[in-house]
Amino acid sequence: MPTYEYECERCNHRFERFQRISEPPLRRCPKCRSMVRRLIGPGGGIIFKGSGFYQTDYRTASYREAAKKEKEATASSSGTEKAAKGDKPSASTKDAGTN
């Protein structure tokens, strides 16, 4: 039985569902009842972790931890925010791209 992955278009809640191929796709978010979209192709059963758009949400825990620490460090040192910001986007883009 394939695993289907859905994402809510409103609250971005993401969840997986085991369903038969013959079962209709879910339409509603279990949290807010808004429309959800399925992140895989019909009948595929392969979770969509590939290129681009959804990548940011699949960042590893270690990445988040590092980013958080970086943020805290930036926040504690006032006046250097602009310099730090100039450095960051290229770094994070690079990180996402290599994954």
- Which residue ranges make up the site for Zn ion (CB under 5 A)? 8, 10-11, 13, 29, 31-32, 34
Q: Which is nearer to Zn ion, 32 or 67 (CB)?
A: 32
* CB of 8 or CB of 40, closer to Zn ion: 8
| Shortest reach from residue 41's CB to Zn ion, in Å | 22
Distance CA 10, CA 47 (A): 21
Helix, strand or coil for residue 54?
A: coil
Which residue number, 10 or 64, has a Cβ lying nearer to Zn ion? Answer: 10
Buried residues in 59-86 as b, exposed as e (16+ CB within 10 A): eeeeeeeeeeeeeeebeeeeeeeeeeee
Provide the minimum distance between the beta carbon of 13 and Zn ion in the complex, in angstroms, as a whole number.
Answer: 4
Closest among 40, 56, 51 to 3, alpha carbons compared: 40
Nearest distance from C-beta of residue 16 to Zn ion, angstroms: 15
